[in-house]
Amino acid sequence: MSDIRDQVVDDRGVIKKLQLMFPGYHGYRVSEDLRDADIYLKDELYKKMLDIINDLKAAESSLVSNGIFTNLDKIGQTRSKIQTAAADLKHHQAGYSGISAGIKVTPAKISSLYDLDMKIYEQIQTLSTVIQGFKQECAQGNFNQARLQDVNSAVGSISQLNQSRETLLYGGV
């Protein structure tokens, strides 16, 4: 995935470019652009998580089509974990960089949030790969408990990275 921060800078319109000329607005504009890039990235992460949920549903359907009804509850629990992780990604704060923000969020912090989200993106790619393998096995009529545990482990890694966002943003305040 290309760096969205560069795309946001390239897409600055006339007003945003004018804001960069004024000392009072320059830092604000830079911070807001970084924040926007992080928001766009989080939206992409959320969409990828929805794709993963759909793949897991397809795996469930394959098992049912093959007459395998055991362990569907385990898949449902995993799907629930993925849905929770996706919702957390979608609704986590991006860090307000406004002129009179209650807690000052510097451009460096906002950029660090973006870097954190890129780490989450890499974990989502791993999760997607594992889910694809699980889905293929289910399509063949095989339920692989170990592969489902790998899925749960990948979801746990994503959740853990996402939880570190608050500490990064506010220093544990």
pLDDT in tens, the chain (173 residues): 667 666 666 666 666 666 656 677 667 777 777 788 888 888 899 999 999 999 999 999 999 999 989 889 999 999 999 999 999 888 865 555 455 555 566 778 878 888 898 999 999 999 999 999 999 999 999 999 999 999 999 999 999 998 888 777 766 54
Between helices 145-170 and 72-91, what is the axis angle to 10°? 20
> What residues does each domain of the chain span?
4-170
- Our CA angle for 13, 91, 105, nearest 5°, is 60
3-class DSSP state of 137:
helix
The per-residue pLDDT for 62 is 94
**Are 128 and 83 spatial neighbours (Cβ–Cβ below 8 Å)?**
no
The per-residue pLDDT for 90 is 84
What are the DSSP calls for 64-101, one per residue?
HHTT--TTHHHHHHHHHHHHHHHHHHHHS------TT-
The per-residue pLDDT for 16 is 61
